Structure formats: C-alpha cells, structure tokens
Chains A and B, each alone.
Chain A
C-alpha cells in the first residue's frame, strides 16, 4: 500500500466507534464524525444493560478512549455534501472542511419513535405518561421513581410496542429490544419500590437473546411482575391524575381496565434523521421499514449496492448493543475485503 486508504465513518455511536477502532487496527486511516458534542450515541443515556444489568458506561469507557487514540474524531460535525470522483468521495463537512475518502461507512443509527404520535396513549398530554428512555434517565441520575405530583407510585404499567408493529403509525416492524428492556426496567422498578405493583402489557414477549428468557422468568418469580397479554387501546387520566388503561386481556378473552400511577411507553426504533439523510444523499436502497437495505441480508450485511459505501449498526435496522458491536467488526472486515478485491482489478 503506497498510500493508506482513508475511510470516513459517519456516526459515533457504538457501531461507528467499534468499526473505526478495527479499521485503524488494520492499518487504515479513519476519520469519524459525530453530530453531537461527544461520542457514544444512545448508550450514553442508558443506565444499565440487559441481560446482565452491567452499567452502560462500561461500554463507552472502553470504546471512546480507544477510538480517540486511533482515529481522527470530529464532533458536532455532519456531512453536507458528497461527490464521487475517480473512485473517491469528495466530502464537504458542516464545518467547512473538505476531505477525500476511499470508502464511507454509514453508522448513523436510529432515533426513538416520537411517542406524541401515538396520541391515544396520552404522552405529552398526561404528566404521568413517560417513555422508557425517560425512566432510564431517572435511573441513571438516581432520581427516585415518583409520579408527577411527587408521590410514590403504587402501580406502574409498561406498554410494549409503542410505535412498532403498528400500521397506524407506519411502522410495521418489531423493534426487537423493547420487550427485554421493559422486563429489565420492570424488575428495577420492583427492586426500588418494593410495594409497587408492576404490569407489562404485551402482544408477544420476544425474548430472543441469550439469557433473555431467564430475565422473563426472574421478573415473574422473584419480582412478581405481572404480564397481561393485549395491546393498550387507550389511556386516559382520572381526577387524581392516575392513568386509566384499557385493553383486551387476550388470554382471558375479556376487556380489562385498571388505573396505574405511572405509565411507561416502550418506544421503538425509527431510522434516525442522519440515516434518512445519508440514504437520500447516497441513493441507498431502503427496506420496507425505511432502514438501509444491505446488498444481501445473509452474506453481505454491511455492503450496499453503491460501490465504496458500507453500512453498520442500527441504520440497517433495530438491533441491540452487542449485535451492533459484532456487526461493526464485520463491517470493518467487509471494507478490507472490498479494498483487497478492488485493488486486484482496478488501477
């Protein structure tokens, strides 16, 4: 290699960081850009991770310094424009800088579904309806779980599939990690508020990962979390600011209603604004879920049909942190293989 190949990684979440570290280790020159003012992405906002309850900062504590040491990092930076020229990408960044890259890795990830759009659940209307991300922030900041009026809740409900598996909001897909997140958080609520009853309202419990089923069982056995099968049809507030939920208990085959003091919405994944922008800018094909579609869902999960453009992490669909990390390593290998193959033919 007479000149080192230069790869631009777009997005500094776990996927982008992990790919960048491995690409640097393979001898490539890497620039990583992140639109926020720090690296880490969504994981920065999580307190602890399923299935083993390890603190989330352990992930960023390992990845951030490693990538900072090896790659060129540009924070608060976005891509403005990309032009293909002689097999390179001429990239204009939001800070005015222009750089040339031999390959692009899209790691722009997901946003959480905006719970306001599911109006019938009352988010933004009733103070005691919050999202799982907001609950996690309370865990992280050691804020005790209280109702809007500052009282200890006697009952907390978790609503699965908010903004997922729902044609009404245009998202037909499953977001994959919210079932286990609900179970994880339900256990934590029971742990921190022993007298509080906790209910999960679910359609299917998708405990797909290793040890997830153990969590489900532990939630029932040790923590007495109660699972009610049925999708919430609506939530309304009563005079005491409690949230009245209605659904069908589909195992009983009868309608069910109850009041909870706090209702937690498990909002799903949607392609992030950055992912949508990159897909448009680079003309990348999308799946019917609007996430980026790789060239081959089995064999080439990081390759896109656009030569030199690769994808990793949740910009190619909902996935967990550990899946994103494995995927990011795979992306680094895919890029190396592509360079090796193209140098045999071209130039």
Chain B
C-alpha cells in the first residue's frame, strides 16, 4: 500500500443535516419525558457507576438526540440500572426507562 504520509481524520462536527435521528424520535414516542431534560447534570452527579467509569445519563440522552448514537454505545453498557438518576432528576425524566429502552434498541 502506498504511504501517503498523512491520515484522514473522521469529522468531529455534529452535523444535524446528515445525522440520523430516528432513534431519538422513537424514544420520544416510547418515553415522552426524553424531551424535557434541562441538562442540569444531577443524574451524572449521583450516578453510582460514574465514580469508576465515564457514564452520564445527561450525555447519553444528549448524544442520542443529536443522532450521535454510536458514541454512546460503550457508555450505555456501564449503567447498572440502579435508578438513582431517576430519583434525583428535577424534571421528572424517566431516566431508567430511557436507559433500558436504549439498551434494547442499541445493544440487545
């Protein structure tokens, strides 16, 4: 193979024109509270797993809603479904249900 002396970087930009946001729409149908997160971060702050692994429900939901689904696959596997995030959410987002749905839709 020819060595061109450079590599191609994948685009780091979130492109809302090309990203596929079908999953976010499906999620809104199945769990309408996925629309009302206000990104306060209480969920990530209290998360049992986040002490040891990079996981934040806020981030997972945000990336799914932006159509950046691939980037949260591994983050999703770190969740232990303890439900603490649901307990603390000040907006009443059904976080645990969303996590379970995403797991079914993306991993299982």
A residues whose Cβ falls under 8 Å from a Cβ of B: 216-217, 220-221, 224, 226, 229, 249, 251-252, 254-259
Contact = CB atoms under 8 A, between A and B. Distances in A.
A217 B36 contact: yes
A221 B92 CA distance: 11
A179 to B, nearest CB: 13
Contact of A256 (B13, B35, B59): B13
A255 B39 contact: no
A255 B13 contact: yes
B17 A258 contact: yes
Contact of A251 (B15, B16, B62): B62
Chain A binding surface, main DSSP class: strand
B62 A252 contact: yes
A259 B35 contact: no
B39 A257 contact: no
Nearest to A246: B13
Interface in B4-32: 12-17, 28, 32
Given A220-B38, A257-B13, 16 more contacts: A217-B36, A220-B35, A221-B35, A226-B65, A249-B14, A251-B39, A251-B62, A252-B14, A252-B63, A254-B13, A256-B14, A256-B16, A257-B14, A257-B16, A258-B15, A258-B16
A251 B68 CA distance: 13
B84 interface: no
A221 B66 contact: no
B17 A257 contact: yes
Q: Which of B16, B17, B28, B59 has the most CB of A within 10 A?
A: B16
Nearest to A221: B36
A257 to B, nearest CB: 6
Interface residues of B, number: 20
Interface string B59-93: 10011011010000000000000000000000100
Nearest to A155: B16
Contacts of A249: 14, 66
B12 A254 contact: yes
Contacts of A251: 39, 58, 62
A161 to B, nearest CB: 18
B28 to A, nearest CB: 7
A98 B16 CA distance: 62
Nearest to A226: B65
Contacts of A229: 39
Nearest to A249: B14
Contacts of B58: 251
A142 to B, nearest CB: 29
Contacts of A226: 65
Given A220-B35, A221-B36, A226-B65, A254 B14 contact: yes
Contacts of A221: 32, 35-36
When A and B form their complex, which 4 residue pairs have the shortest distance between CB atoms, in order from nearest?
A: A258-B16, A256-B14, A255-B13, A220-B36
Q: Which of B13, B15, B39, B58 has the most CB of A within 10 A?
A: B13
Contacts of A216: 38
Contacts of A254: 12-14
Contacts of B38: 216, 220
B100 to A, nearest CB: 21
